[in-house]
Amino acid sequence: MAKGTRTRSRILIAAVETACTNGFNGLNLQPLADRVGLTKSGLYAHFRSKEALQLAALEHAAGLFQLSVVAPAKTAPAGLPRLRGVFERWLEWPVGAGLPGHCPLFAAAVEFDVEEGPVRERLMRLFRDFREVLEQLVASSVRHGHLAPGTVPRQLVHELVALRYAHHWGLDFMREAATAERTRAAFTALIGRGHSIG
């Protein structure tokens, strides 16, 4: 890798780590420059604005999410085992990807619910894409006879998003270790509700 590419990569890793604890709005150029040992103008050579940095950090986080959550699921058998694999990795992904603090994407959804602009637009597209992945996994589970024919993917996925949020709240905010058990019990009940599992 050329030195410029390595530096850019170091900046992005530090930016995603910062977003995990301080949010994307906490990505200020000077503290980040200090953290990676650059001058502010050195950082500025890579990212010309806070927004450009936020967008690049979001892209980097999305790449880590894809690598940690979506890609590995392909090794599991199609249908419910694959859906379960994605859900399990989704629960653990910040730790699995070596990140500190909470899921930066969920936190960003709170930061950018009112604030308009390209960061919000990109984030919404990421969530839509991941929801599409989940919906396809639900539909595939139905086709494999692992979920009842009447299952509505959009509805079930809304409830999976719900469980992931409560997991975040229970584990990261309330700091209760029993959260993991509650989330998994809820997942099992949700998947089993009125469904025949093949």
When asked if residue 119 is in the footprint of a copy of itself (CB under 8 A), the reply is: no
Going from the C-alpha of 81 to that of each of 73, 98, 139, the distances in angstroms are 9, 25, 13
Interaction with a copy of itself in 158-177: which residues (CB under 8 A)? 158-159, 161-163, 165-166, 168-170, 172-174
User: How many other CB atoms are there within 10 angstroms of residue 41's CB atom?
Assistant: 9
When asked if residue 53 is in the footprint of a copy of itself (CB under 8 A), the reply is: no
- Give CA–CA dist 119/137, Å, rounded: 27
Beta carbon of residue 81, minimum distance to a copy of itself (angstroms, whole number): 23
Cβ proximity to a copy of itself, 54 vs 183, nearer residue: 183
Interaction with a copy of itself in 80-99: which residues (CB under 8 A)? none
Cβ proximity to a copy of itself, 43 vs 90, nearer residue: 90
Q: What is the DSSP secondary-structure string of 73-113? A: GGGSPTTHHHHHHHHHHHHHHHHHTT--SS-HHHHHHHHTS
**HSE (CB half, 13 Å, CA atoms) of 27?**
29
User: How many other CB atoms are there within 10 angstroms of residue 143's CB atom?
Assistant: 12
Please give the size of the binding site for a copy of itself, defined by CB under 8 A. 38
Among 29, 36, 76, 109, binds a copy of itself (CB under 8 A): 109
When asked if residue 197 is in the footprint of a copy of itself (CB under 8 A), the reply is: no
* Residue 111: closest CA among 24, 52, 198, 5: 24
Among 19, 111, 126, 146, binds a copy of itself (CB under 8 A): 111
Interaction with a copy of itself in 127-156: which residues (CB under 8 A)? 127-128, 154-155
